[in-house]
Structure 1
Amino acid sequence: MIIGICGGSGSGKTTTAQNVIEKVGADKVVLLEQDSYYLNLADIPLDERRQANFDHPDAIDFDSLADNLESLSRGEAVEIPIYDFATHTRSDRKKLIEPKQIVIIEGILIFTNQRILDLLDLRVFIDTPDDLRLLRRIRRDIEDRGRTLAQTLDQYEKTIRPMHHQFVEPYKRFADVIVPESRQKGTITSMLCGVINQKLAEEMKTAVS
Structure 2
Amino acid sequence: MNEKKALVVFSGGQDSTTCMFHALENYEEVELVTFEYGQRHSLEIEIAKSIAEEHGLKHHVLDMSLLGQLSPNALTRHDMTIGQDGAARVPNTFVPARNMLFLSFAAALAYQIGAKTIITGVCETDFSGYPDCRDIFVKSMNITANLAMDRDFVIETPLMWLDKKETWALADRYGRLDYIREKTLTCYEGVIGDGCGECPSCRLRNEGLRAYLEERGTDA
TM tier relative to shorter chain: 0.3 to 0.5
Between structures 1 and 2, the one with greater helix share: 1
Higher relative contact order (CA 8 A, sep 6+): 1
TM score, norm. by length of structure 2: 0.36
Between structures 1 and 2, the one with greater strand share: 1
